[in-house]
Amino acid sequence: MEAIRKPAVAGMFYPVNENELRNEVSLLLDIATNEKKYDNVFGIICPHAGYVYSGKTAAYAYNAIKRKNYKTVIVISPSHYEYFQGSAIYNGNAYQTPLGIVEIDKEMRNELSKNTETIFIAENGHRKEHALEVQLPFLQTVLKKFKLVPIVIGDQRNIFINELALKLAEVVDENTLIVASSDLSHFYNKETADKFDSIVKDNILNFDYQKLQDNLLKENCFACGGGGIVALMKAAEMKGCKKAEVLSRTDSGDVTGDNSSVVGYLSAVIH
């Protein structure tokens, strides 16, 4: 039997029905319009909450790559449910959503895990992880046929993130897109969250991934997928790509009206 990672959060984070999901993603893309066009998009940064909360913010980034052609998409996600050292690339054949199956790029998976002990092929982190899964219906909607390299980071210490960045820079080319999945601060009031999240935004805009890495370590700001953002930006710089633009920044209070305890969201494009 083929090893296919089945949807784990369909019906919770996004609709389980195929038609409902297509309609919701299309609606989010329609309302998150951006007239600016981006050439040579190396990667995007997207939030990973339920679509009702962060879907519009994510859609701004996905509109930046709409109808572009990529052979492979690497999605980098934090691990919310399992701890392990390093980064795990799914060991199966495909990921599945209600929109269909996305085949794993086994050749790139093998290249990324070659000659390193910190990036390995395994099921670790992939069993229940929503942060990776919620990106896929957007990708399936805005892109034509592509293969997937799904990476879940179990430990975001610098030693693991720096190694991941180096390996990414080794294997990616102009036919590869990297998606870094991350939310921002969690459960502070809106004013406090804005202060923390502004630091992440400014570090991205200034393309200062080293400062972002330091700020995350010192807890001057928060991003559950901050390691993935740093790895994306560091790899981009090594490939000669140093432009970043933040497309949208919001928080859950903008949807719920409850500003006493919010989760921050941001989308950005690296090009």
pLDDT at 34: 87
Strands 94-97 and 100-103, bridge-based pairing: antiparallel
In terms of residue numbers, what domain contains 99? Answer: 4-270
Identify which of 254, 208, 212 has the alpha carbon closest to the alpha carbon of residue 55.
254
Angstrom CA distances, 16 to 65, 67, 134, stand at: 24, 24, 12
Closest among 156, 265, 252, 255 to 201, alpha carbons compared = 265
Q: Could you tell me where the DSSP H helices lie in the chain?
A: 18-31, 51-63, 106-112, 130-133, 136-142, 158-171, 190-205, 209-217, 226-238, 253-256
Exposure string over 244-265, b if 16+ CB within 10 A, otherwise e: bbbbbbbbbbebeeeeeebbbb
Q: According to the model, what pLDDT value does residue 94 have?
A: 98
**What is the DSSP code (8-state) at residue 260?**
S
CB neighbours of 19 closer than 8 A, spacing ≥ 6? Answer: none
pLDDT of residue 116: 96
Q: For 21-50, what is each residue's pLDDT tens digit?
A: 999 999 999 999 988 999 899 999 999 999
Give me the CATH number covering residue 123: 3.40.830.10
pLDDT given at position 1: 45
**Res 5: pLDDT:** 98
Say what the pLDDT of residue 227 is.
98
Quote the tokens at residue 39.
Answer: 């050439």
Q: Convert the pLDDT of each residue in 98-143 to its tens digit.
A: 999 999 999 999 999 999 999 999 999 999 999 999 999 999 999 9
Q: Which pLDDT does position 35 carry in this prediction?
A: 85
What is the domain count for the chain? Answer: 1
Sites in the chain below the pLDDT cut of 50: 1
